[in-house]
Structure 1
């Protein structure tokens, strides 16, 4: 029997296909991979059941940063309080990601809220209820230059990839109808008929709204994959300072690097944050040297290796990096850790 805990080349190609086209039909996927749809379906189900991959749905963070509020929050905790804090915060829908990191902070959170007032309540009221909390530092995101839904395994040649139509450019805005669809997308591949049943809407209405959200860039669909099986098992975060007039050019160069998963401008003295996936711990130093040569305007001010990613874009992860559950990202939910 095939060991789904150790994906083979076909599994990796399947993941790459769904990274590029998360809602492609099984016929399209099978044609791209040269297998029948039933085989593609069975293999994907095996990956999902093993916690190796899953398609998630969330508001596009680049557009969200323009119109709403993204933030990175660092938490300092007493050593005995960390496990409880992770357990509680993992269930907060506004907290998209949680990492236990080295070097100067205990937890590193990625947060999406509708506005600054909601972020303030989350930080000043809700987080303050955590036992053993020593302090917080909040960095509001001003621009997201790149994020993980564009990262690929590079397991497929260009001619074998599923075609994805370009965005229409017609940008909708979030309303109650779109939020209702998002709330029903605990799995990014949920069929429109199932969403219709959950929302008491017709299938045609759901398909139209879903297409509007995807084509207009309002909604991100991301094939999340367990990091240990990617060949990039080490995650790290870099903080940097860049002169304002060099920020856009520097960020554009950074987002072209295969190691960079997230690149965002933030408020504060350190005005650029990068999340990286690396092949080894030695790559931390190698990449620092590479950045120094390519981007003289960039000054790295701090770096931290991720000891454990407890949550990544709504996916809860075990100690081995496998997906065990999903807490759908909902910036509008009532965030009340208890």
Structure 2
């Protein structure tokens, strides 16, 4: 719970280092940030004990299944928590938010066609708490949460953490059975050590190290440092539902994906065809984004909603706010 812990500048810098490379060692983080590895270990242990930080592997953008949906579910007042929890319990729903006001849930479902149809046409309609559901298919992902940086590192520090520490790898190969077992384990905890991974998958540590090196070189070890953005100085969590002319969609989506506040941009079907999620320090900063960023990009219409509570992010259940 955010009320039980605060982060100082060094804590935030360490979290930002994990945003760049979720598997970076404490030694490497310490070298880049100019502190001892022991200090990094101690700070991370505190965050781990408090339960506010989880680092998980997330699929590469190209792995989002065809038919991924953004759901907007209108719910009777007083019933939103139960339904949000039910959606969050599903493995195929990695993101669940409750909008400010407590009458709408926004979720991302990445299920296959059969389960998707059961969710849309059977399960949600059978819930008497649901008053309306809008489903928008994801057409293109410009950016997802793994690329967001909270801004507490210098550009030089980011580059140092992005640089592979042990040089180029051999040409990547399609993931095999061992690779998939490793990726599944890292989806739960991306910072688990090589020895623990070897024990979990039943392979020699040297073999696991070699496979991890190859997976990393192939871009398959994308990680996400899941933490309440308020702890990083971002008090407002918002979603923009934009209507963009087709000939501007690619340019606007690409531009928004590169903005420091934005942690997700997808093109969708529906009346609003571009969705962006963002963190801002406060409401005036959100106003400035809408007026000074969207305006010059030529976005003719946008609905802005504020997240009241994040229930699940990148597959990780979030703590209830204090």
Relative to structure 1, the CA distance from residue 120 to residue 219 in structure 2 (aligned partners, 3 Å threshold; closer, same or farther) is farther
Give CA-to-partner distance per residue, 1:224-248, whole Å, 9 cap, x none.
2221111111011111122222211
Q: Is the contact made by 2:239 and 2:307 (CA closer than 8 Å) also made in structure 1?
A: yes
Counterpart Cα distance in 1 of 2:5 and 2:139: 39
- What residue in structure 2 maps to residue 279 of structure 1? 281
SS state at 2:162 partner: coil
SS state at 1:95 partner: coil
- What residue in structure 2 maps to residue 243 of structure 1? 245
- What residue in structure 1 maps to residue 153 of structure 2? 156
Relative to structure 1, the CA distance from residue 13 to residue 271 in structure 2 (aligned partners, 3 Å threshold; closer, same or farther) is same
Which structure features the higher share of helix residues? 2
CA drift of 1:175 comes to: 6.1
CA drift of 1:124 comes to: 2.9
- What residue in structure 2 maps to residue 7 of structure 1? 7
Listed as ranges, the matches of 1:306-321 within 5 Å are 306-320=307-321
- What residue in structure 2 maps to residue 47 of structure 1? 47
SS state at 1:240 partner: strand
CA drift of 1:292 comes to: 4.4
How many matched pairs? 315
Match of 1:83 among 62, 81, 84: 81
- What residue in structure 1 maps to residue 306 of structure 2? 305
**Structure 1 gaps, min length 5:** 322-338
Listed as ranges, the matches of 1:133-282 within 5 Å are 133-161=130-158, 162-165=160-163, 176-185=177-186, 186-282=188-284
SS state at 2:255 partner: helix
SS state at 1:196 partner: helix
Relative to structure 1, the CA distance from residue 77 to residue 172 in structure 2 (aligned partners, 3 Å threshold; closer, same or farther) is farther
Give CA-to-partner distance per residue, 1:196-240, whole Å, 9 cap, x none.
222223333433443343332334201122211111110111111
Q: Is the contact made by 1:103 and 1:303 (CA closer than 8 Å) also made in structure 2?
A: no
Q: State the Cα RMSD in Å.
A: 2.7
Counterpart Cα distance in 1 of 2:67 and 2:45: 35
- What residue in structure 1 maps to residue 63 of structure 2? 64
TM-score normalised by the chain length of structure 1 = 0.83
Relative to structure 1, the CA distance from residue 122 to residue 310 in structure 2 (aligned partners, 3 Å threshold; closer, same or farther) is same
TM-score normalised by the chain length of structure 2 = 0.87
Counterpart Cα distance in 2 of 1:300 and 1:108: 20
Relative to structure 1, the CA distance from residue 255 to residue 237 in structure 2 (aligned partners, 3 Å threshold; closer, same or farther) is same
CA drift of 1:191 comes to: 1.4
Q: Is the contact made by 2:169 and 2:213 (CA closer than 8 Å) also made in structure 1?
A: no
CA drift of 1:266 comes to: 0.6
Counterpart Cα distance in 2 of 1:241 and 1:176: 43
Q: Is the contact made by 2:17 and 2:161 (CA closer than 8 Å) also made in structure 1?
A: no
**Structure 2 gaps, min length 5:** none
